Amino acid sequence: MSTAQIAFLKGHGTENDFVIIPDYDGRLELSPAAVARLCDRRAGIGADGVLRVVRSAAHPEALGMADEAEWFMDYRNSDGSIAEMCGNGVRVFAHYLQRAGLVEEGDVAIATRAGVRGAHIAKAAPDGTPGEITVAMGRAVLPDGDVTVTVGERSWPARNVNMGNPHAVSFVDDLADAGRLLDAPAVAPAAAYPDGTNVEFVVDRGPRHVALRVHERGSGETRSCGTGACAVMVAAARRDGADPAVLGHPVTYTVDLPGGRLVISESPDGTVEMTGPAVIVAEGVLDASWFVRATA
């Protein structure tokens, strides 16, 4: 993509922050090195990941979803690696589409590497505050087998939950037990997560109310993780004997994260929905020569 300027925006969902790159026709080459530089909090813009906005018909990985969803969320972790899904990212992506005039309030379909995700954009508040966004996150998969998470000298049992991307959910007595989470916690057996995993540490705050910290695969500890909050809700409901399929009605948990609060619901058919805010905080242009050097 040869241009003097490359547009970008900066946004976040419960402080899980993203660089948004509008590239509707899929002309921009985003190498892992370029993504890592964009996300660098000292040498770049700084973010937990990059959301590239591409028409599904213009991206080979999304072409098969083009009839269902016009827009593809090409999500990259802050280290440049490709990820299947990002729940907070979907909310921010949907908010961007509305802000850019590409969709209206109401329902919108978004293509991701984990499949098409439906989002609902609520009406803005009278003061102009954007409406919260509800995302249909699909169904959780709960693989069999015991999993253990280790930080330093301490280990905890964990629940293997897949929300389109992998999670190891561990219930602990104190969130401080996980330390600073600068390095990825060790997870065993390795065969349970051949491509690595996100790890959530969870404490109870009250009835159907939990709080978590998360180490995201490819990004480190982040302020929030939407798929992680969903995985935690599913694991907590099973632990608490509140499986919606057994109860015959939806189950809802409040999930507190360092960056804010999400509300997660699971229906008897297994469909998980996530509701929370999305914010765009800035927009501008990248220096093209800097970007070229970043991709070298």
Residue 230 falls in the annotated catalytic set: no
Q: Could you say which of 30, 62, 199, 225 is catalytic?
A: 225
User: Is 293 known to sit in a ligand binding site?
Assistant: no
In the block, tokens 């660098």 appear at: 40
Residues 127 and 162 in one domain: no
141 found inside a domain: no
Report yes or no: 8 and 39 within 8 Å, Cβ to Cβ: no
Residue 165 to residue 215: CA distance in whole angstroms: 13
Number of domains in the chain: 2
56 found inside a domain: yes
Give the structural domain span for 244.
147-276
User: Is 217 known to sit in a ligand binding site?
Assistant: yes
Query: In the predicted model, is pLDDT for residue 263 greater than 60?
Result: yes
138 found inside a domain: no
In the block, tokens 């996530």 appear at: 274
Residues 284 and 272 in one domain: no
Residue 175 to residue 21: CA distance in whole angstroms: 34
pLDDT digits (tens, 9 = 90+) for 161-210: 999 899 999 999 999 988 777 678 999 999 999 999 999 999 999 999 99
**Residue 291's pLDDT is what?**
82
pLDDT digits (tens, 9 = 90+) for 16-41: 999 999 999 999 988 999 999 999 99
Average pLDDT over residues 275-282: 97
Residues 110 and 40 in one domain: yes
Residues 153 and 270 in one domain: yes
Residues 113 and 171 in one domain: no
137 found inside a domain: no
Residues 160 and 111 in one domain: no
Query: In the predicted model, is pLDDT for residue 4 greater than 70?
Result: no
User: Is 16 known to sit in a ligand binding site?
Assistant: yes
| The one-letter amino acid at 224 | S
**Cα four-point dihedral sign 275, 281, 285, 286:** negative
10 found inside a domain: yes
Residues 128 and 37 in one domain: yes
User: Is 88 known to sit in a ligand binding site?
Assistant: yes
**Residue 5's pLDDT is what?**
79
pLDDT digits (tens, 9 = 90+) for 69-96: 999 999 999 999 998 889 999 999 999 9
Give me the chain's average pLDDT, please: 94
Question: Residue 114 sits in a domain of what CATH number?
Answer: 3.10.310.10
User: Is 198 known to sit in a ligand binding site?
Assistant: yes
Report yes or no: 53 and 21 within 8 Å, Cβ to Cβ: yes
